[in-house]
Amino acid sequence: MKLPPSKRSHKAALIFMLPAAGLVLNGCAEKEVTAQVFSTPDECAAFYNPPAQCQAAFAEAEQLHPKVAPRYANKQECEADFGAGQCETAPEQHQQGSFFMPMMMGFMAGQMLNRGGLAAGSGQVTSQQTTGSTGRNTVPTQPLYKSRDDRNTFRTATNTAVASQPGTTNIRPSAVQPKPAALARRGGFGAQAAQRSANRSYGG
Amino acid sequence: MKRHSIAPRPGWQDFASSVGFEFHTIDNEQYWDESAYYQFSLQQIEQDLEAPTEELHQMALDLVPDILADEQLLKQLAIPERFWDFIATSWRSGEPHLYGRMDFSYQGTGPAKLLELNYDTPTSLFETGFFQWVWLEDQLMQGQLPQGSDQFNSVQDKLEQAFAQLPLAQPFYFSSVTESIEDKGTVDYLMDIALQAGLDCRYIQLEQLGDMDGQLVDLDGYPVNGLFKLYPWEFMLQEDFASTILTSKTQWLEPSWKLLLSNKGILPLLWKKYQGHPNLLPAFFADNREIEPGWVKKPLFSREGANIELVTASGQRIKEDGPYTDNGYIRQALAPLPKFGDSYTLIGSWVVGDSAAGICIREDNSLITKDSSRFLPHIILG
């Protein structure tokens, strides 16, 4: 049977505005994997890991640090997040001077150290790491940071809390994929909205 | 065109909240109002609203190259000179556009009169495309509306087609001002449809957009190559990232050439080119002087009825304050909104791509329709 012609949509379904949408979008649950977190190579060795591998993991994280640490346009903004004396100059310059970044406060060794998984680490931000879209089933070795108001928690460069004490921790790999540090200026849009706040909407 | 009372669906507020329509009531004032609906005949819809909408849309598009070719007009529309080439390129390269809404004064007989084009950041889209549609289906199912009642509302179908067919960058980002839950509601609805059309969508707060070496970037530093922004072009061109717009490889929705059509200055230009057209009102560029009875004064850029002033034929002055006092004005002959009961009624007519796609109805206690004006559903019957 042919439907009579209609002036309205054939369907008007919603998928992600519905309360249950989270189930649709999150996909399959990701498995946690084990990684180890330390402040220094010595602390790593004190946890019965081979000292040479601790040193190698630390060196790899240290090499990654200037590539991924969060960037700030000046020292004050950096110290506001990471604490007085906890920031250093970053390699890049902007028009008014240097970018700043927090100091590295520890490292996360992705593979189980005493099983020899570290030897292949290159210390480069590989394309796999920087795209952030593939290779998400392992935890890359990387630098860790501590914020000004929470000196116990180790955080990744993208501000994911990974552990509050040295030793073994369980991590979802997708949450800790290193990304190139963002040197972006932000807040360049929206000023007119703030000025003309009489409006409830900026549409019409 | 008639207004009928009808019992609201029991519990509709809970349903509204469950689908993210949190702004159905604003400051204890009803915004979504289903205690009544409007009825149109199919002929009223097709001849008086649908066909004129498509014709006026084409007339407006035909004006774009005229404006771009005339520096005087660009100045009259208060378009900043450093963006003239950018806007011209956006038009000449055929950057696609998604949607717009024209507002009409129409009472069921005679030609609908075009009041303005909302061609850059139109809202009340979710209410039209989804909530009003569900209202009709519910009331039909409950037997509260005559069988065979239809609605002029293919907004969601047409948006889904548009998202499936437009050559859009992927992922495509959607953005709105953080503090506005109403704008977020509109953007969520568009993202929902885009997702259903198979697009890879991301949301970013407008204030969170970054600039890295002249390229717009998201919070992770990835380039934003496609962006829907529910934020006026004329604002963006004045803000810190205005120069980023010129250098960033970003496909914009709406494209920047829409700035020419969302400008109230398009109304005098339409009148000049198509003087006497039955759907147009006489309109002229104006200065800040007092207006005569039977005229309306509107800023070039304004939204939600802000800074509109009118004097009725009998000399009554009605004025809406607002934050848009920094550019020029136009004046337009007054086509007073028809009165149904105690309410003045305005018809918004949607355009998706280049097709008329449906209507929405707003009621207000004054002749000036505002963001607080009530939204009422409608049916087609007869």
Per-residue pLDDT tens digits for A163-192: 999 999 988 888 898 887 767 778 889 988
Surface of B (68-127) touching A: CB under 8 A? 118, 121-123
The distance of Cα A32 from the centroid of its chain, to the nearest Å, equals: 16
Q: In chain B, where are the structural domains located?
A: 2-263+338-380
Is B209 close to A11, i.e. CB distance below 8 A?
A: no
Is A204 close to B192, i.e. CB distance below 8 A?
A: no
A19 min Cα distance to partner chain B (Å)? 7
pLDDT digits (tens, 9 = 90+) for A146-168: 999 889 999 999 888 999 999 99
β-bridge mates for residue B103, sequence order: B116, B348
What is the distance between the alpha carbons of residues B379 and B137, in angstroms, rounded to a whole number?
11
Instruction: Tell me which chain B residues have a C-beta less than 8 angstroms from the C-beta of A198.
Output: 306, 322-323
Q: Which CA distances in Å does B55 have to B262, B280, B282? A: 17, 11, 18
What is the distance between the alpha carbons of residues B301 and B116, in angstroms, rounded to a whole number?
11
Q: Which CA distances in Å does A115 have to A22, A60, A62, B148, B158? A: 38, 17, 22, 73, 58
What is the distance between the alpha carbons of residues A87 and A77, in angstroms, rounded to a whole number?
10
Instruction: Tell me which chain A residues have a C-beta less than 8 angstroms from the C-beta of B238.
Output: 192
Contact of B154 with chain A, judged by CB distance below 8 Å, is answered with yes
Half-sphere exposure for B79 (CA within 13 Å, toward CB): 29
Instruction: Tell me which chain B residues have a C-beta less than 8 angstroms from the C-beta of A196.
Output: 323-324
Instruction: Tell me which chain A residues have a C-beta less than 8 angstroms from the C-beta of B304.
Output: 199-201, 204
Is B150 close to A8, i.e. CB distance below 8 A?
A: yes
Is B121 close to A202, i.e. CB distance below 8 A?
A: yes
Question: Using an 8 Å Cβ cutoff, are B205 and B178 in contact?
Answer: yes
The distance of Cα B148 from the centroid of its chain, to the nearest Å, equals: 29
Is B211 close to A189, i.e. CB distance below 8 A?
A: no
Instruction: Tell me which chain A residues have a C-beta less than 8 angstroms from the C-beta of B42.
Output: 7
Surface of A (123-142) touching B: CB under 8 A? 132
Question: Which residue stretches of chain B are H helix?
Answer: 12-18, 42-43, 51-68, 71-76, 84-92, 125-126, 132-141, 155-165, 181-196, 233-236, 242-247, 258-262, 266-273
Per DSSP (E only), the strands in A127-166 are 142-147, 150-155, 161-163
Q: By C-alpha distance, which of B192, B188, B190, B199 is closest to B164?
A: B199
Residues in chain A: 204
What is the distance between the alpha carbons of residues B224 and B244, in angstroms, rounded to a whole number?
12
**Tens of pLDDT along chain B (382 residues)?**
999 999 999 999 999 988 889 889 988 889 999 999 999 999 999 999 999 999 999 999 999 999 999 999 999 999 999 999 999 999 999 999 999 999 999 999 999 999 999 999 999 999 999 999 999 999 999 999 999 999 999 999 999 999 999 999 999 999 999 888 889 999 999 999 999 999 999 999 999 999 988 999 998 888 999 999 999 999 999 999 999 999 999 999 999 999 999 999 999 999 999 999 999 999 999 977 789 999 999 999 988 888 899 999 999 999 988 887 778 999 999 999 999 999 999 999 999 999 999 999 999 999 999 888 999 999 999 9
